[in-house]
Amino acid sequence: MSGSSEIVLGVTGSIAAYRACDLIRRFSEKQCPVTVIMTKEAEQFITPLTLGALSGRKVYRDLFAGDSDDWQMLHLSLTQRARALVIAPATANIIGKMANGIADDLLTCSVIASKIPIFVAPAMNTEMYHNKIVKENILRLEKSGVQFIYPIKGKLACGIIGEGHLAEVEDIVQAVFRSFKK
């Protein structure tokens, strides 16, 4: 594990993507610089400009967007200098890709190439969260060492109250810091 306190934050296409702003703020307050990798779906909910302004760093979105003067394999280099990879919010889509070894974008390639602890905080509709396939994917990932910060019951984008609401930001931050102390 790297000696750095840097966090790589993966942001996916959920209405809860706006809460990544608070995650960046909370990690930064704890002297943990944050580098953001966002999926193209996340850009439907929050802009790279917002996340970059809050983190004070470039936001990475494209697997092949390395600087031509200083070429590097982003899916390797971003997590090599970090202490943890946190995916929040994590959609059923990203969980399914991770569980099945699909690496078709910068975030999923970074997950597969990573040797650092991975934390996943799901956020989705209750029916999706309780779907048998999603549950099996979560179990499969847990068996491989991925740590989950489970969603809570709350008001969801569809208007219902149910399980699937992103965990509280402080609970996500504390889960990551507890792992640092081990």
Looking up residue 161, the CATH number of its domain turns out to be 3.40.50.1950
The answer to whether residue 1 sits within a structural domain is no
Instruction: Supply the pTM of this predicted model.
Output: 0.92
Alpha-carbon dihedral sign for residues 108, 109, 110, 116: positive
The answer to whether residue 105 sits within a structural domain is yes
Residues 111 and 51: their CA atoms lie apart, in Å, by 20
Does residue 156 carry a pLDDT above 80? no
The answer to whether residue 142 sits within a structural domain is yes
Of the pLDDT bands very low, low, confident and very high (cuts 50, 70, 90), residue 74 is low
Of the pLDDT bands very low, low, confident and very high (cuts 50, 70, 90), residue 81 is confident
Does residue 93 carry a pLDDT above 50? yes
Could you give the number of structural domains in the chain?
1
The answer to whether residue 2 sits within a structural domain is no
The answer to whether residue 17 sits within a structural domain is yes
Please say if 109 is a catalytic residue: no
The answer to whether residue 31 sits within a structural domain is yes
Would you state the pLDDT for residue 1?
35
Q: Which residues does 55 contact at the CB level (< 8 Å), separation at least 6?
A: 9, 24, 28, 33, 34, 35, 36
Supply the range of the domain harboring residue 137.
7-181
Does residue 171 carry a pLDDT above 80? yes
Beta-strand relationship, 147-148 and 34-38: unpaired
Burial profile 92-116: b = 16 or more Cβ within 10 angstroms, e = fewer: bbbbbbbbeeebebbbbbbbebbeb
